[in-house]
Amino acid sequence: MSLRFGTDGVRGVANRELTPELVTALGRAAARVLGTDQPYVIGRDTRRSGPMLEAALVAGLCAEGADVLLAGVLPTPAVATIARQRGAPAAMITASHNPFPDNGVKLFAPGGRKLTDDVEQAIEDVLHDLAIEVPVGREGHGVGVSAELRDALDLYVAHVVGVLDGRRLDGLKVVIDCGHGAAFRAAPRVLRDLGVDVEVRNAAPDGTNINAGCGSTDPSELQEAVLATGAHAGLAFDGDADRLIAVDETGALVDGDQLIAIAAFDLQERGQLRGDTVVVTTMSNGALHRALADAGIGVVEVDVGDRNVLDALAERDLSLGGEQSGHIIYADLATTGDGILAGVQMLDVLHGTGQRLSTLAGIVARSPQVLRAVRVADKSRLDGASAFWRTAQAVQADLGDAGRILVRPSGTEPVVRVMVEAATEDAAARAADRLVDAVTTACGPAEA
C-alpha cells in the first residue's frame, strides 16, 4: 500500500489508484499524526466517487477515535474556512480541475492550514507502517462518530459576504459558470446575497459532468454568454472552486495574473497591501512583474503550487499572492485559494471604481505566451533526459532576452507543462512545438 502527496494532496483514478482501502488507511494515518482532539471537517465535490471515498475516509478516522463533521458538497475554501473558525483539522475529497474519474484527498492541519512537508512525510510513514501491521483501533466509547454539519454552507456564505464589510454589489450583472462542481450552490447564493443580478451556468452536477467542457478549464461557453447577455463580467470556477478565471465585458479572458494585479492595486490604495509586496509563481507572465514594478509593488517569486505561495505569504507576513491559473489568496481572509471570494473582491473593485473589467485587466499588457500540457508515459524521465535539456537550452538561446521558457512535471497529473514567452505569438508557438516534441521523446507518449 503506497501513497505519495503531490503538490495539492493525493490524487488518482478513483477505485483503481485511489481505492477505498487506501483512503481508509489514509484516514487512520491522518488521525494518528494530526490528532483526535477536534472533530474533522470533511467536504467533497460532486464526483460520483465522492460518497464512496468519503465513507472510507470517515471509517479510517473513526477507527482511530476521531469524530467527524460531514459538510457535504462544498468548495475546498469553505471547508478550510470552517476548519479555521473551529481550530479543527479537515479534509476535502476532490480532484479539483481533473476529469471526473479521478478523485483525491486534500488534508488540512488544525486551523485549516495546508500540511507542511514534514507532516506529509509523517503521514506517509504511518501509512507504510499500516501496510505491514494489523491496525489496532479503538473500541467501545473510544470509537469516533460522524454527524452532519448542517449549517456548513450558511457559515461559508456568511463569511464571504462579510468580507465586504457591508458594501453591496447592486447593479452588477454577472454570469457564473460553476463547472458542475462544488460551487454550484455556494457561488449563486453569495452573489445574490450581495445584490448581484446572476445568471448561473453549469450548476446541475450528475456525478460525471464536473469540469466537462465547462468551468475554469473551458470558459468558452461563459465568454459567449457574457457577450450575449451584456453582462459586466463572467466568473468561472474549477471543480472544487479554489480557483477563478474571469471574463470581461468584451468576452476576453481575465486570468490569475490580471486578477492579482487588480487586487494588488486595490489593496495598495486602501493601505492593506502589507510590505507593498505580492507573491507570485514562476508561471506568471512577465507583464505582471512590469505592471507591479511600475506601481512600486515588489514581487516574491516561488515555484508553482499554491502551497508555495501560502508558505511565502506566512513567512514574510504578506497579504496577497496567487497563480496565473487562478488561485488567488487573500491571506488575511482565507487559508487557501478561494475562487468565490476572489470573484467577490474583483467585483467590489469593479463596482466601486465604475470602470469596465477590460480596463482594469488592461493594466497587465500580457507578453505573448503559450502554455501546453503534454500527456506522457513517465514524467519522471524528464530529470535525467540530457538530450531534452540540450534542446531546452537551444530554444532559450534562440528566444534571447525577449523570451523565456519553463518546463515542469505536473504534481497532480501524468503531464509535463510547457510555458513559452516570446516577442511574438508565432515565435512562442514555434518554440513550444519544439519543446513539446522533445518532452514526448524524453518521457514517451501517453497511452491512447
Superfamily of domain 155-361: Alpha-D-Glucose-1,6-Bisphosphate, subunit A, domain 3 (3.40.120.10)
Interval 54-89: pLDDT, tens: 999 999 999 999 999 999 999 999 999 999 999 999
Same fold, 10-149 and 369-443: no
- H or E, element range at 42: strand 40-44
Classify residue 383 by burial, with Cβ atoms within 10 Å: 0-12, 13-18, 19+: exposed
Q: How many helices and strands (H and E) does the chain possess?
A: 14, 19
Q: Which three cell numbers stand for residue 68?
A: 467527524
Q: Where does 10-149 sit in CATH, by number?
A: 3.40.120.10
The answer to whether 294 touches 237, Cβ cutoff 8 Å, is no
Q: How far apart are CA 80 and CA 77, in angstroms?
A: 5
pLDDT of residue 448: 65
Choose the CATH number for 369-443 among 3.30.1490.20, 3.40.50.1370, 1.10.357.10, 3.30.310.50: 3.30.310.50
Cα end-to-end span (Å), the chain: 27
Domain boundaries in the chain?
Answer: 10-149, 155-361, 369-443
Q: How far apart are CA 107 and CA 91, in angstroms?
A: 4
pTM above 0.75, yes or no: yes
Specify the residue for cell string 490528532. 35
Q: How far apart are CA 184 and CA 181, in angstroms?
A: 6
Report which of 390, 413, 342 is spatially closest to residue 95, judged by C-alpha positions.
413
- H or E, element range at 157: helix 152-162
- H or E, element range at 258: helix 256-269
Classify residue 87 by burial, with Cβ atoms within 10 Å: 0-12, 13-18, 19+: exposed
Q: How far apart are CA 97 and CA 102, in angstroms?
A: 10
User: Which positions are annotated as active-site residues?
Assistant: 96
Q: What is the pLDDT along the chain (448 residues), one digit of tens a residue?
A: 556 676 668 999 999 999 999 999 999 999 999 999 999 999 999 999 999 999 999 999 999 999 999 999 999 999 999 999 999 999 999 999 999 999 999 999 999 999 999 999 999 999 989 888 878 878 999 999 999 999 999 999 999 999 999 999 999 999 999 999 999 999 999 999 999 999 999 999 999 999 999 999 999 999 999 999 999 999 999 999 999 999 999 999 999 999 999 999 999 999 999 999 999 999 899 899 999 999 999 999 999 888 999 999 999 999 999 999 999 999 999 999 999 999 999 999 999 999 999 999 999 988 888 989 999 999 999 988 999 999 999 999 999 887 889 998 887 778 999 999 898 999 999 999 999 999 999 999 988 6
Task: Give backbone dihedrals phi and psi of 280, rounded to 5 degrees, phi first.
Answer: -135, 175
pLDDT of residue 414: 86
Report which of 57, 49, 47 is spatially closest to residue 25, judged by C-alpha positions.
57
Instruction: Give the number of other Cβ atoms within 10 Å of residue 161's Cβ.
Output: 16
pLDDT of residue 338: 98
